[in-house]
Amino acid sequence: MTTPPVRARDLGFLLHDWLSLEGLLAYPHFQDHGRETVDAMLDIAGRVAADTFLPHYKAADQHEPHLVDGQVRILPAIHQALAAFAEVGMFAAPFDAEVGGLQLPHLAYSAAMAQFMAANVATAAYPMLTMGNAELLVRYAGAALVRACALPEIQGRYFGTMCLSEPQAGSSLADIATRAVPDGSDELGPRYRLFGNKMWISGGDQDASANIIHLVLAKVPGPDGKLIPGTQGISLFVVPKVLVDGSAFAGQRNDVVVAGLNHKMGYRGTANCLLNFGEGAHHRPGGEAGAVGYRVGGVGQGLPIMFQMMNSARISVGLGAAMLGYRGYRLAVEYARDRRQGRPLAAQKGGAPIAIIDHPDVRRLLLAQKAYAEGALALVLYCARLVDEERHGPAEGRTEAGSLLGLLTPVAKTWPAEWGLAANDLAIQVHGGYGYTRDFDVEQLYRDNRLNPIHEGTTGIQGLDLMGRKTLRDDGASLAILRRRVQATVERARHLPALADFAHVLDVTWARIGALVGHLKAAGDDAASLAQATPFLSAFGHALVAWQWLDQALVAGTLDAAPDAEEAAFRAGKLAACRFFFETEVPRIDVWLGIVGRRSDLTQTIDPAAF
């Protein structure tokens, strides 16, 4: 690859020109940082990503994690990359100084992580999960657990996981059966012994860190010894692989074993495990069977607490999906400029072949990739800015930012996952037959991205969340906040001849979404409406990205200073992507909204035997 995984100007435009990072840096919480600090961190992140993450991208795909005497071994190059990641302070970047962090804006951290995900998403999964794990502990755990578990994660010495799914339950967390039996207490807090199985645990075991901190959902038996049905019985536990200081069994190997590895289509460098808790056959801390864990929060409060990490992970999945689509797009552009094939229609017979980027249909493929990949990145970074606004902005704006972030989270996970994958599909098409071979990275990028519509909640689950919890059962405040922001863009764009038509289309589109939501609420048949949740999510996501493309086009078209040729081309690309999205993608929204509005009962009434 002759170009960096992420162009500095792409990030610079989004951070500085569009999302006004400088406005965030004016918050008291970030007063020790300026644009120079952020740009230096992004530069370091780009170099570390290019030097240590990117070189083993294909090797990690070819040499998957494997079990040796019960221990998962991963590619040594992954060890080295994660050590470099820790050495430059990336694990610490978004955390507060009081826990050893660099206290940088979440927006800046997300832009840095974008570069690591573009370079090697499977290796980037280890720190992504670790930082989410540590963030949850810092927010909800007691001081002793934070000191023993979260601080080593922030330093990059321990890695973390989230253990939710079980073989029989999948995404239906109400059906988990892992038991947590009270076992007294010690310096770390209420202690339990856990018994059960967890499936699809990314980073569930590896040999790159000194310890692994598992966050495990389990149920505490009631007075009758039975598990409480439903999600209300779920509690959250910290279960270290090796018991940490403060535990009555510090230094002992916990009763957590790897029962097997899942062999995946993509993300092959990330060890994905089936974990057994409480077998008692190999490890018995304190001489007893049962994985020792420490409760975070009260009994029955596990799922609401875990949702913090789950929502953070959803946005991180969206970022990874965007960057896989983005890198495939950049590779396709480079290939299209170099590959010479075919001749223009007007050329005389026997003329020299031209670069395939000069063919209109190839440009169509590239424009679609640009619209999807850069649109997805913009969406996720917009949400990252909302995180900063909610946590550290002026008090009067925090509730609004939090409401809007909650509304957008299922879209920020799903839209990049679905349309970043579409961009990867088109990148293979641009490469032709070569794109379907292992000699070029675009086939692996596609395989890696195919996971993203599935994990951390499938597209269908995110649709149910958006339409159910965030729309039908909401008082409308979140959608009203979004509509005001969209309307502000519409009013500004109306006065620019090149964008006025798009502003009108956007205004009409959101008015139709608002009317449809009102119609669904008035109908009062949530079951019929939720049957169409996925097309509603598709329409909502496209309308959201259309807004953000128009907003970016406004910025690109009104930046001060006369640009040089390279900058002029960059801005023209933003305007072209906006035009493409409105001409080619926005018409899809009417189709999806029509499906939702008809509320067909077909999927509810078809007899399973018909399949």
Higher pLDDT, 456 or 408: 408
In this predicted structure, which of 68-72, 164-168, 431-435 has the lowest mean pLDDT?
164-168
Q: What's the whole-number mean pLDDT along residues 207-236?
A: 93
* Dist CA 369 CA 126 (whole Å): 27
Which pLDDT belongs to residue 309?
83
**Band of pLDDT at residue 3, cut at 50, 70 and 90:** low
pLDDT > 90: percent of the chain:
91
HSE (CB half, 13 Å, CA atoms) of 18?
29
**Band of pLDDT at residue 348, cut at 50, 70 and 90:** low
Q: Is 390 designated active site?
A: no
* Dist CA 4 CA 192 (whole Å): 48
* Dist CA 387 CA 107 (whole Å): 8
Question: Does the pLDDT at position 4 exceed 90?
Answer: no
Residues 6+ apart with CB under 8 A from 507: 487, 490
Residues 6+ apart with CB under 8 A from 408: 379, 382, 383, 386, 482, 544
Question: Does the pLDDT at position 608 exceed 80?
Answer: yes
Where residue 309 falls (left for φ over 0; alpha for ψ -120 to 50; beta otherwise) is alpha
Q: What's the whole-number mean pLDDT along residues 265-271?
A: 97
Question: Does the pLDDT at position 410 exceed 50?
Answer: yes
| 3-state SS assignment for residue 438 | coil
143: exposed, middle or buried (Cβ count in 10 Å: 0-12, 13-18, 19+): exposed
CA distances (Å), 45 to each of 57, 155, 579, in order?
17, 17, 32
Question: Does the pLDDT at position 2 exceed 70?
Answer: no
| 3-state SS assignment for residue 217 | strand
Question: Which residue type is seen at 432?
Answer: G
In this predicted structure, which of 76-80, 156-160, 346-350, 527-531 has the lowest mean pLDDT?
346-350
- First-to-last C-alpha distance (Å) of the chain: 46
Question: Does the pLDDT at position 358 exceed 50?
Answer: yes
Question: Which residue type is seen at 139?
Answer: R
* Alpha helices (H) in 49-203, listed in sequence order: 57-62, 76-87, 106-119, 121-140, 143-145, 151-154
pLDDT in tens, 19-47: 999 999 999 999 999 999 999 999 999 99
> Taking a C-beta distance cutoff of 8 angstroms, is the pair 194, 180 a contact?
yes
Closest residue by Cα to residue 315 from 391, 422, 237, 407: 407
> Taking a C-beta distance cutoff of 8 angstroms, is the pair 133, 162 a contact?
yes
> Taking a C-beta distance cutoff of 8 angstroms, is the pair 336, 357 a contact?
yes
> Taking a C-beta distance cutoff of 8 angstroms, is the pair 586, 519 a contact?
no
| 3-state SS assignment for residue 230 | coil
Question: Which residue type is seen at 22?
Answer: E
Which pLDDT belongs to residue 1?
45
CA distances (Å), 580 to each of 330, 340, 498, 577, in order?
18, 25, 13, 5
Joined together, the tokens standing for residue 516 give 């449809």
* Dist CA 53 CA 122 (whole Å): 9
Give the chain's mean pLDDT.
95
Residues 443, 456, 567, 583: which is the catalytic one?
A: 456
